[in-house]
Structure 1
Amino acid sequence: MKRRLEGKVAIVTGGGSGIGEAISKRFAAEGAAVVVCGLDSDPVRKVVDEILQSGGRAVGYLGDVSVEEQAEDCVQLAIDDFGKLDVLVNNAGVFPATAELDKYPVEAFEYMIKNNIYTTFMMTRAALPFLQKTQGNIVSAGSEAGQMGSPMITPYGGTKAWVMSFSKGLAVEQAKYGVRVNCVGPGPIDTAWTHKETGPMDSKMEKNTVNGVPMGRRGTPEEVANVYLFLASDEASYVTGATYFVDGGVTLSKSLPGEEVPSHLKQQPSPSLPLKHGKDGHAEIRQEVAGTMNHGL
């Protein structure tokens, strides 16, 4: 049976940890050559080595793709190493703080604009000429917070709403070139972002985040990667301008129905991918990509 991305070349930004690691490994397992893109402090090299050890094809790119020149370099690496580009996954993103808006750090807001919005814009802009040649596609990371808004992380939801609106406009704009553009909207996923020990949530917010899910549990990075795989594959050939929520039903819920789910249904499925970096997510301000918004402009 032919693998769903056989012969394809994909770039996965934020590909070294959390959902990005799962996307990189799922795509490689389905036959894609993957450019795993991340920051110097991300475990990109480890993920690349793990893909190679499992018989897949991958190369790493370390850099800040919110900067135009580095985004272009990342795309060029895919062309130089693999000859073309079929799929761009704009997964890179940050979740550095939680607070009511009047107390929300301005530094954290600027950091999200840079790493959630600029990365998507710069990578998309750099990749489009090559995606037009292959009639490829783009899948970007939205969020249930971008659909509904979310207290204590209001600016984060705003950045994700931008990505989702951006993708809809781009889908219409690029359809004449045969380029599809879609979003995935994760809900609470079992990564660094949704645990108080590894992210900015306190215990109350963590509890409410999980209990607000009708299915009564966090999703897994692999469950999200499976939806990215569908949208990136030819099976989704008539899908563009869509946002697929992978959220356990949270965008439909206005209460805490997860508290009513019996314990045996709250168990996460056993993984089939060797994911080792789920808690290495970008959940703090890193000085290597911090700073004001006038960088390079």
Structure 2
Amino acid sequence: MDRRLEGKVAIVTGAATGIGEAIAHKFAKEGAKVIVNSLPDDPIQDVVDAIKKYGGEAVPYAGDVSQEFHAQNCVQTAITAYGQLDILINNAGVFLATAETQDYPVDVFDDTVRMNIRSAFLMTKYALPYLQKSRGNIVSAGSEAGFNGIAQNTPYGGTKGWIHSFMKGVAVEQAKYCIRANCVCPGAIDTAWTRKEKGPMDSKMEKMLIQGTPMARRGTPEEVANVYAFIASSEASYVTGALWLVDGGVTVAKGAVGSDTPMWFRSEPQGELRLEHEQEGLDNKDTQTIK
């Protein structure tokens, strides 16, 4: 049985932990050669080594792709290593603080805009000439928060709304070059970002996330990666300018409907990918919970 990304070369930014780690593993499993990008103090080499251990191909690129130099060099790493670029996954981003808007730190706002927006713009800008040659595609990390907004981190939802509009514009603009552009929009996924022990969310926010989700649980990084793999593949050849919600139904819910969901349906699926860094996305990063 052919793997759906066989022969493709993909860059995955923010690929050392959480959803990004799952995307990198999933793409390698589907036959892609993967450029694993993340910040230098993230476990990039661990992910590359694991992909190789299980028969995949990957090379690391450590660097903050919200900086122009690193965005250019990340793209060039793919070309140097494999001679082509077929898929860009703009997954890099941060969720650094929870606070009401009047208390939200300006420096954290600036970091959120830079890491979530500027990184996606720069990577798209420098990847496009090569994606035009390969007739490739871009999938960016949107969010349920980009549809609905998010209290206690309003700038985060704002950056994701920007990503949604940016990808729609790219989809229309680049169709003449046979490029597709889409977003995957997760809800509460079981990573450091949604765990009170690991990040800036407090216990009340964590509880509300689950209660407001009809499926009454977090999603897993692998469940999100599965959607990325489909959209990036030729199976989604007629899909462009689309926002794919992977949120357990929270966007269409009206109230804390998760309390009615049977307990047996609330368990996260085990999955198949061998992930080791799902909860490490905020390690070595300053986070704040302001009440």
Q: Does TM-score exceed 0.5, indicating one fold?
A: yes
The aligned residue for residue 292 of structure 1 is: none
Question: Residues 65-76 of structure 1 correspond to what in structure 2 (within 5 A)?
Answer: 65-76=65-76
Runs of 5+ in structure 1 lacking a partner? 288-297
Correspondence 1:271 to 2:261: no
Distance 1:260 1:175 in 2: 44
Superposition deviation, residue 254 in structure 1 = 2.5
CA separation in 2, counterparts of 1:176 and 1:267? 44
Structure 1 residue aligned with 2:146: 146
Q: Quote the residue 1:260 is aligned against.
A: 260
1:227 corresponds to? 227
Aligned to 1:290: none
- The one-letter amino acid paired with 2:154 is T
Aligned to 2:13: 13
Name the CA distance, whole Å, in 2 between partners of 1:249 and 1:222: 17
Q: Counterpart in 1 of 2:39? A: 39
1:195 aligns with 2:195: yes
| Deviation (angstroms), 1:286 | 5.4
Change (3 A) 1:284 1:252: farther
Deviation at 1:283? Answer: 7.0
Shift of 1:285: 4.3
State the 1:282 CA deviation: 3.4
Contact 2:198 2:282 in 1 (8 A): no
Map 1:146-165 onto structure 2 (within 5 A).
146-165=146-165
Give 1:130's aligned amino acid. Answer: Y
Shift of 1:284: 7.2
State the TM-score, normalized to the length of structure 1: 0.95
Assess if the C-alpha contact under 8 Å between 2:193 and 2:281 holds in 1: yes
Deviations 1:124-145 (CA, angstroms, capped at 9, x unpaired): 0010000000000000000000
SS in 1 for 2:267: coil
Written as runs of structure 1 = structure 2, the 5 A alignment for 1:166-245 is 166-245=166-245
Write the distance in 1 (CA, Å) between the matches of 2:257 and 2:284: 30
Aligned to 2:96: 96
Any conservation in 2 of the 1:145–1:156 contact (CA below 8 Å)? yes
Q: CA deviation at 1:208?
A: 0.2
Query: Aligned equivalents of 1:36 and 1:78: distance in 2?
Result: 10
Which residue in 2 is equivalent to 1:293?
none
Partner of 2:86: 86
* CA distance in 2 between partners of 1:197 and 1:284 (Å): 14
Distance 1:86 1:137 in 2: 7
CA distance in 2, matches of 1:116, 1:241: 19
Structure 2 SS opposite 1:223 = helix
In 1, Cα distance between the equivalents of 2:70 and 2:281? 21
CA–CA separation in structure 2 for the residues paired with 1:253 and 1:275:
30
Task: Return structure 1 stretches of 4+ with deviation > 4 angstroms.
Answer: 283-287
- 1:153 CA displacement: 1.2
Determine the C-alpha separation between the residues in 1 that align with 2:271 and 2:137: 27
Q: Distance in 2 between matches of 1:220 and 1:264?
A: 16
Asked if 2 retains the 8 angstrom alpha-carbon contact of 1:94 and 1:284, the reply is no
Aligned to 1:89, the other structure's residue is in SS state strand
Once the two structures are superposed, what CA deviation does each residue of 1:265-292 show, in whole Å capped at 9, x if it has no partner?
A: 00111120001100111377459xxxxx
Q: Once the 2 structures are TM-superposed, how far is the Cα of residue 260 of structure 1 from its aligned partner?
A: 1.2
**Aligned-residue CA RMSD (Å):** 1.1
Distance 1:173 1:285 in 2: 36
**In 1, Cα distance between equivalents of 2:254 and 2:221:** 24
What is residue 251 of structure 2 aligned with on the other side? Answer: 251
Determine helix, strand or coil for the equivalent of 1:176. Answer: helix
**Secondary structure of the corresponding residue to residue 251 of structure 1:** coil
Identity among equivalent pairs (%): 60
Aligned position for 1:127: 127
Deviations 1:1-20 (A, max 9, x none): 10000000000000000000
1:55 aligned partner: 55
Paired residues of 2:180 and 2:240 also in contact (CA < 8 A): yes
